[in-house]
Amino acid sequence: MSKKKEITKAKLDFKTDWAYAPAPEDSGHISLKKQYDLFINGEFVKPNSKKYFATYNPATEQKIAEIAEADEKDVDKAVKAARKAFEKWSKLSGKERGKYIFRIARLMQERAREFAVIETMDGGKSIRESRDIDVPLAANHFFYNAGWADKLEYAFPNRNPKPLGVVGQIIPWNFPLLMAAWKIAPALAAGNTVVLKPAETTSLTALKLAELIRDSGLPNGVVNIVTGAGKTGAAIVNHPDINKIAFTGSTDVGKLIQRSISGTNKKLTLELGGKAANIIFADAAIDQAVEGIVNGIFFNQGHVCCAGSRLFVQESVADIVIRKLKDRMETLIVGDPMDKNTDIGAINSKEQLLKINEYIKIGKNEGAEIYQSSCAIPSKGNFCRPTLFLDASQSHRIVQEEIFGPVLTVQTFRTIEEVIEKANNIPYGLSAGVWTDKGSKIFNLTNKLRAGVVWANTYNKFDPASPFGGYKESGFGREGGLHGLMPYLNL
């Protein structure tokens, strides 16, 4: 441990000139620095501009730390380090690469608690979700892809798989550590080197991952992590020596990136927004379906690209489903993300809360009937009550546009044809859910729904072995599984 102001005591000591976030009751043994630098060529370096920006705990609105802002010169340094590292890394045997990736996975499991606490402090998601879903899944992505590193020839027979070179990866704030794992693990397994940028409101777990990567002994420059906002992201996209861009985030920025790299040789995968239909047929197991609706929209405060944000209920069961859904919503606890009983944590940022509240206003003005659970919400911090819009119609903006919050629109339907037509009649095509007792209906719908992922009698289930990605304005390319390796290889 360096002599820098690192805090390793059981409780964080935040007596400084800033109004730092106080230590959560249960934060034993997590170590956070006051200030975070860029991770380039295996070490932490100051940003060229000397500029830092604050990251906040969205549940308390208190500052947690300062994060370096990378400019074009820093990005160039990171790309050069990655290019140099590529020469050696791409020549290592798959077996050797796999060993490093396995080591990262194991270290992540060892430090799981620290990652979970920091993820929740920095991003606002409930500690139960960070601990039980995000961190274990992130480690699993490294385990899964480590296994492919020495089997690429077998995975793609007679296609002579070769790495692309230096890949630039830009990730969002809804699953910060998990998205870093989704991006870095397959890139390394395929033999590429990486320059990754986390989202500006949630850099901390990516920087913790940088510390882990340094400790893992991964050769310098194989993974570089630069922090900053859109300008830093654009510097990665526009760097001439990048071979591929992998982006997850808003459709607007995705389109911008697509325009910026057109005419270059850079490869691109985009994982963008969504507005998934979650379809409940009259023959479904109603109580399970209600749990699936709740998990579909309220998981991670609804900050989920594949969230089941449009509910379709068959008319004959609409009354009972909505009554049960309202009852279930009353039991949801909204509040302190660090509390193990919390179901819905903090909205990731003030900006996102404003956006959600704006859509709630739009929904009311469009004439949909609003229902919000009556739970108490903290007076401080960014919080939003679980919200339904009943009697929503297909032309409403709240039905057509991605809200990215705990807001569900409800529509009813009579026939299969009608619901397929409505489910597909939006600009997005990332995911969908189908709840029915009949297997034939499931097969019929999975073929006709224009969605990359269709869940049947479950929702928001993720596995490193299963590919994920969308159609239309939800982007292109797949992540996860064998399909997720392909965009990182020349075949």
- Catalog residues that contact ligand NAI under the rule CB under 6 A: 170-174, 197, 199-200, 229-230, 233-234, 237, 248-250, 253, 256-257, 272-273, 305, 352, 355, 402, 404
Task: Tell me the sheet residues that pair with 268.
Answer: 245
Least gap, CB of 198 to ligand NAI (angstroms): 6
Q: Which two tokens stand for residue 438?
A: 């009949």
Distance CA(188)–CA(89), nearest Å, equals 9
User: Among Mg ion, ligand NAI, none, what binds residue 122 when CB lies within 5 to 8 Å by partner kind?
Assistant: Mg ion
Name the residue nearer to ligand NAI (CB basis): 27 or 203.
Answer: 203
Least gap, CB of 64 to Mg ion (angstroms): 6
User: Among ligand NAI, Mg ion, none, what binds residue 305 when CB lies within 5 to 8 Å by partner kind?
Assistant: ligand NAI
Least gap, CB of 224 to ligand NAI (angstroms): 15
Least gap, CB of 206 to Mg ion (angstroms): 12
Name the residue nearer to Mg ion (CB basis): 148 or 175.
Answer: 175
Residues annotated as catalytic are 271, 305
**Under a CB-based contact definition with an 8 Å cutoff, are residues 149 and 97 in contact?**
yes
**Under a CB-based contact definition with an 8 Å cutoff, are residues 249 and 172 in contact?**
yes
Q: Which two tokens stand for residue 278?
A: 């979650």
Name the residue nearer to Mg ion (CB basis): 171 or 290.
Answer: 171
User: Among ligand NAI, Mg ion, none, what binds residue 477 when CB lies within 5 to 8 Å by partner kind?
Assistant: none
Name the residue nearer to ligand NAI (CB basis): 28 or 427.
Answer: 427
User: Among Mg ion, ligand NAI, none, what binds residue 237 when CB lies within 5 to 8 Å by partner kind?
Assistant: ligand NAI
C-beta neighbour count of 380 within 10 angstroms = 10
Least gap, CB of 188 to ligand NAI (angstroms): 20
Q: Which is nearest to 413 in space by CA: 436, 388, 439, 391?
A: 391
Least gap, CB of 274 to ligand NAI (angstroms): 6
User: Among ligand NAI, Mg ion, none, what binds residue 55 when CB lies within 5 to 8 Å by partner kind?
Assistant: Mg ion
Q: Which residues of this chain interact with Mg ion, rule CB under 5 A?
A: 55-56, 122, 201
Least gap, CB of 154 to Mg ion (angstroms): 42
Name the residue nearer to ligand NAI (CB basis): 351 or 391.
Answer: 351
Name the residue nearer to Mg ion (CB basis): 120 or 193.
Answer: 120
Position of minimal CB gap to ligand NAI: 233
User: Among ligand NAI, Mg ion, none, what binds residue 172 when CB lies within 5 to 8 Å by partner kind?
Assistant: ligand NAI
Q: Which is nearest to 229 in space by CA: 52, 395, 422?
A: 52
**Under a CB-based contact definition with an 8 Å cutoff, are residues 306 and 461 in contact?**
no
User: Among ligand NAI, Mg ion, none, what binds residue 272 when CB lies within 5 to 8 Å by partner kind?
Assistant: ligand NAI
**Under a CB-based contact definition with an 8 Å cutoff, are residues 438 and 283 in contact?**
yes
Q: Which two tokens stand for residue 254?
A: 């995705």
Name the residue nearer to Mg ion (CB basis): 191 or 198.
Answer: 198
φ/ψ of 218, rounded to 5, equals: -55, 135
